A and B are shown apart, each in its own frame.
Chain A
Amino acid sequence: MNTLTIGVFVPGDSIIHRLDPRTKLILTVAYVALVFMAKQVIGVALAVSYVGAALWMSKINPRIVLRGLRSLTVLVVMTAVLNLFLTQTGTTLVQFWKLRITDDGIYLAVYFALRLMFLVSGTTMLTLTTSPIALTDALESLMRPLKRFRFPAHEIAMMMSIALRFIPTLMEETDKIMKAQASRGADFETGSVWKRAKALAPLLAPLFISAFRRAADLALAMESRCYQGGEGRTRMRVLMYGAIDFAAFGIMAAMLILSGIEAILL
């Protein structure tokens, strides 16, 4: 549980933390597009500078991001190895038995491994610097135009924020119940698959019961405070774009145009 850094929020007061969450969300989407467009030097340079600049300005310990990447090692290595051996086009560089390694294969292996790492490190910058609440606020605000098509933007955002709010609680509860059952001699770690699946009952049953109890309590608490959904609801934190947001949008637009030009020219 301690190694899970994807999705963790590290509070702070940096420029990046102060960006409007909608800006960060849009920027992240744009960044993903950028990474997918990147084929050559400029694209990669832009992606590197995006992650580097965001990391530097957010004052977040780079080790946190590195640890997040480390948890992806298996996935990255698999991607690289598969591309290396399954790509049969291009000139053969090494051949042993039936396996050929070609220059295209090496290119694709590096390309996909890098792309994956860039995608993850760039998107973790969003979750590292934006609180879950701010993120759902941003989502609701960005989805609002869809309301015209009967899309339940508020309800979805509310469900997301409740879910996010309860993840730590449930993790804590899981930890507690696991410890309590382990104290009664339960063994979650050894034995056959079937035995281990059966050993989960003492963990899952109390967890579900408590989740339902919490849900009922929360519903009651919301109702007793007259919650009626999104209609006519005002907010405590009103989202507003500021100068830094427009600056960020401008820089992102320039980066996209630049990498677009590169893509067209090649």
Chain B
Amino acid sequence: MIEAVDLSHTYGSAGLMPTAAVTNVTLTIPDNCFAAIIGSTGSGKTTLIQHFNGLLKPSSGKVLIDGEDINATKQTRKESRRKVGMVFQYPEHQLFEETIEKDVAFGCRNLGLSDAVCRDRAREALGRVGMDFDEFAQRSPFELSGGQMRRVAIAGVLSMRPSTLVLDEPTAGLDPRGRTELLDLLDALRAEGDTIVLVSHSMEDVAERAKLVFVMHDGKLAAQGEPREIFMDADRLRAVGLSPPSMVLLAEELAKLGIVVPRGIMEVDEMKEAIITLMRSEGGTNEQ
């Protein structure tokens, strides 16, 4: 469980343009939850999540993992890095080793584990992201396509076996198939007991997958709740600079034409069914 208690973070210092990036945020991400953080650009999402494994120290407030303050000692901060895996935006930029195997095992080796264990973990992690170990292990990560590089980078985080995975816009720049595969991977990890925290600009991704949504606006936590609750309120979303997911927009447009579908539909199939049902019943009334 990750908790932020009255967390604030200010970049810079007095005299030199201080920026309050996160202000008094209190939130709880329960274990084994698929949580999402959304917000317009500059709203403080990246700053917020970098507190979850102690990369940034709060200017005030606390971050607790399983009830323990992660900034208490050097040891607890190190521990938080092990528990919480962080996948940065464009993680492919962090690759550096000569071979893919070495790069994936980097985190594992930093935990002080033996080469044999790390090799197994690299094999497993590469398998998870859909890359064949025997084919790729000895190749250079720089020969890969962008999408493959990203998978290798994510495998590099998975090799540390974190119980929570925090991802900063992991689908940016991926093709639709790569996007679905990545989201499926996150779903699978969650099904196995991991906690997922996804920062995303894609309302569709969040609406489809997340169970708990946090909305950031201007460094503050503007709203939190289930995706349906959050996304149904199209006006509030617009007020914080976000555009509602496409199904909500479609429902809005239909409503303007006098076709009222049930509120809170997020998925294409569900919308299709609802429209078909509606047309059937309308068709019925027209015939009479």
Contacts and interface: CB of A to CB of B under 8 A. Distances in A.
Contacts of A209: 93, 96, 142
Contacts of A67: 15-16
B43 interface: no
Contacts of A187: 110
Contacts of B86: 179-180, 183
Nearest to A4: B16
A201 interface: yes
Interface string B130-163: 0000000000001000000000000011001000
A49 B9 CA distance: 39
A180 B167 CA distance: 11
Interface string A178-219: 011111111100000000000001100110011000000000
Nearest to B95: A206
Contacts of B110: 184-187
Contacts of A176: 88, 93
Q: Is the interface of A mostly helix, strand, loop or mixed?
A: helix
B228 interface: no
A184 B156 contact: yes
Nearest to A63: B15
Interface in B217-267: none
B88 A180 contact: yes
A64 interface: yes
B157 to A, nearest CB: 7
A177 B156 CA distance: 14
Contact of B91 (A63, A64, A180): A180
Contacts of A179: 50, 55, 86, 88
A209 B98 CA distance: 13
A8 interface: yes
Nearest to A182: B55
Interface in B5-56: 12-16, 50, 53, 55
A8 B16 CA distance: 10
A234 interface: no
Given A205-B96, A206-B93, A184 B157 contact: yes
B148 to A, nearest CB: 16
A180 B94 contact: yes
Interface string A150-187: 00000000000000000000000100110111111111
Contact of B160 (A63, A64, A185, A202): A185
Contacts of B81: 182-183, 185
Contacts of B156: 184
Interface of A: 2, 5, 8, 10, 61, 63-64, 67, 173, 176-177, 179-187, 201-202, 205-206, 209-210
7 contacts: A67-B15, A67-B16, A181-B94, A182-B55, A183-B81, A185-B160, A187-B110
Given A61-B15, A201-B96, 11 more contacts: A2-B12, A64-B16, A173-B93, A179-B88, A183-B85, A183-B88, A184-B110, A185-B106, A186-B106, A186-B110, A202-B96
